[in-house]
Structure 1
């Protein structure tokens, strides 16, 4: 594989970061991705305690390889317990995004941690560089989970590479060696990959959720705020989420104001999550979900990205 800032900084075999998918990637998946030669991360859910972060960090660190943790800035504003646990754990990389992330950059860097921020526009990337982050993640709207839906990965990546001087990783729609080769050829230092790992046994997805992922095509996702509004989560409104389209989303998309005061719908979603009913409950996934056809261990997914090397040599 080509050597990049990402591989050199973290001593990786493959220039791939396993995206911090809150509620899907915990310490087990992070450890498996890192052990396979990429950089594994786990995402911290909004309601996670500091002790949960510490427990998962210990699991991730057991691989003996560098790993990372993903934080949501809008959560840290009201409770520093997650941040304090991360500072104690001292992972190699921390991404802090979605909200006012600037106050957390220097405390993390003083602890010797590389700091990343996910940017959905070129202006966000510039702001991240001004705030002192070490690396910007240019996240296109086709990516799964939360973020902006204003610019696709390739247009965003091209703009961001010209706009900032810090290293740039590409996120959104990268699920195979072809996708990784494309963003490396454009100038990214690596791929920030989430959806490709949804089919791995090391995730926390239930069997019914996994079946939904494996059955989905590239057109089966939808972007919006329905699931956040129904749960009364405090996500800033500019950051919706991309998930597998289902009946609950179709019923409430465009009716978010009404949904925000409908307690029956809130209870319906909570019950569906408990019962594994994914006609109502959600599975966050990006447009690359159609490329996941069968379950594979995380190590196999990481290994599949090594094919980017041959593609880059072929077209050099």
Structure 2
């Protein structure tokens, strides 16, 4: 399974642990990288530069990456400054005006990728000078476009750009990894499959809810962003576990935006472990995350893709 991804970073398995804010910090990144894939730290919009530096110190025993949200950097430039000083192996900067940051990161010797939810976005990313594009399908958890599924998007992007392409969205087992590698991807960008790992920052209550979720148990929309008054660009909604709060407010987003008590209710619910109200971002592969595992177990499971790829050779 030698690809651009494994050769570039010295990996045993062509998998990147996607940057998941609030889920994957330094401990998970380090565990994924130690197991032979590439771990990443997910940076929330309000995170400080000091937080990034602290978590990077945990992850920096080997190659690791950091994921930034472009829309947040304008109001929080300390994040970008911290990343430039740290010089991680890989930086993902996505969702907003990311192009302005690409050349400075590359000049610092950092490999740069961005997540694209359409083929046009992938073409624009290549023109912006990124080293690789992440073709992020609508099945993926967390934020992004709900425009095109992973498989049709991957096929189109592979035909449209000449830079390496990583596939994201719904890839949770060796079968999924084998499928995207066979199509021509350089590797998989995997989030939800790592959410059940012991090394995440999820609470026990959130993990229990996640492990009980079914494959049809997610929903896409802006309900949780509006309730928390997050400044995500409206074209990037979020896929999360469907719950009572989402069902109550889906289709009533204007009313929710006028509800002054909503942010406090969401914050209190999160603190209390009330996930009928608080959100857990996850993708459609969540139905395959059934038990508590280690990151090393998950990466080892992906390594079985090699056998699937060689069955007919």
Computed over aligned residues only, the root mean square deviation of the Cα atoms, in angstroms, reads 0.6
**Superposed displacement of residue 315, structure 1:** 3.3
1:100 aligns with 2:84: no
SS in 2 for 1:263: coil
Aligned residue for 1:257, secondary structure, equals: helix
User: Does 2:156 align with 1:145?
Assistant: no
After TM superposition, give the deviation of residue 138 of structure 1 in Å: 0.1
Question: Matched residue of 2:304: which SS?
Answer: helix
Deviations 1:203-242 (A, max 9, x none): 0000110011110110000000000001111000000000
**What residue in structure 1 maps to residue 45 of structure 2?**
46
Name the counterpart of 2:184. Answer: 187
Match of residue 33 from structure 1? 32
Q: SS in structure 1 opposite 2:231?
A: coil
> Which contiguous aligned blocks of 4+ residues in structure 1 show a shift greater than 2 angstroms?
none
Displacement after TM superposition at 1:265 (Å): 2.3
Distance 1:261 1:87 in 2: 39
So what's the TM-score if we normalise by structure 1?
0.98
Tell me the SS of whatever aligns to 1:314: coil
How far off its partner does 1:269 sit? 1.1
Alignment of 1:54-133 (within 5 A): 54-61=53-60, 64-133=61-130
Deviates more, 1:77-86 or 1:118-127: 77-86
SS in 2 for 1:99: coil
Alpha carbons 2:178, 2:309 under 8 Å: kept: yes
**Structure 2 residue aligned with 1:214:** 211
Q: Does 1:311 align with 2:305?
A: no
Shift of 1:257: 1.2
User: Which residue is equivalent to 2:254?
Assistant: 257
Partners in 2 of 1:200 and 1:236 — Cα distance?
A: 30
Question: Is the partner of 1:191 in helix, strand or coil?
Answer: strand
Residue 80 (structure 1) shift: 1.1
Give distance in 2, aligned partners of 1:60 and 1:69: 10
Equivalent residue pairs, number? 313
- C-alpha distance in structure 2 between counterparts of 1:95 and 1:5, whole Å: 17
Instruction: State the distance in 2 between where 1:235 and 1:301 align.
Output: 30
**Residue ranges of structure 1 left out of the alignment (5+ in a row):** none
